[in-house]
């Protein structure tokens, strides 16, 4: 299948998961918030089962004939540590990530999420520009 078809079908599955969680459970599928509130000890078993579902996905995918892509990392271990730290701080401050602001917030016609999504998209694109075209070494 071509990559636009798989992108759209994958996106529709993500939308289905977010819609279902909202309609059935009344919860928002914002993964940075779910993860952060789970690991900082907020009550709510549903957060842990959601995270288990995410981790189970690549283990169960072969049974439904979905191929799991191999991740190609451009960043080395030190750079991944810095990046993870920035993602943790940034998503906690802005209250959402690609799922919470990008998918759920935009679906909810949220101006807040539109501003956040536009900001992280532009900054991420600039960062990739600096890495790939200005030669910032990230392999360390």
User: Looking only at residues 46 through 85 of this chain, which bind another protein when binding is defined by CB under 8 A?
Assistant: 46-61, 64, 66, 68-75, 77, 79-85
Burial category of 85 from C-beta neighbours within 10 Å (exposed 0-12, middle 13-18, buried 19 and up): exposed
139 binds another protein (CB under 8 A): no
Which residue from 69, 29, 81 is spatially nearest to 53, judged by alpha carbons?
Answer: 29
CB of 106: closest distance to another protein in angstroms?
5
- Give, as ranges, the residues between 110 and 129 that touch another protein (CB under 8 A): 110-113, 115-117, 119-129
Contacting another protein within 11-50 (CB under 8 A): 11-37, 39-40, 45-50
Distance between CA atoms of 30 and 28, rounded to whole angstroms?
6
Tell me how far, at minimum, the Cβ of 80 lies from another protein, in Å: 5
Among the listed residues 65, 95, 137, 140, the single contact to another protein using CB under 8 A: 95
140 counts as binding another protein under rule CB under 8 A: no
- Residue 73's alpha-carbon distances to 79, 126, 139, in angstroms, are 11, 18, 9
- Cβ 63 to another protein shortest distance, Å: 11
Closest CB 62 distance from another protein, rounded Å: 10
């Amino acid at each position: 299948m071509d990559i636009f078809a798989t992108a759209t079908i994958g996106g529709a599955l993500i939308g289905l998961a977010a819609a279902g969680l909202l309609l059935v459970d009344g919860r928002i599928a914002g993964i940075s918030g779910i993860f952060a509130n789970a690991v900082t000890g907020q009550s709510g078993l549903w957060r842990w089962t959601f995270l288990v579902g995410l981790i189970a996905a690549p283990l169960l995918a072969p049974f439904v004939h979905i191929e799991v892509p191999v991740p190609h990392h451009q960043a080395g271990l030190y750079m991944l540590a810095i990046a993870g730290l920035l993602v943790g701080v940034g998503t906690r401050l802005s209250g959402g990530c690609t799922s919470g602001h990008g998918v759920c917030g935009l679906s909810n016609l949220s101006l807040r999420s539109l501003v956040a999504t536009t900001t992280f998209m532009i900054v991420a694109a600039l960062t990739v520009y600096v890495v790939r075209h200005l030669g910032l070494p990230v392999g360390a």
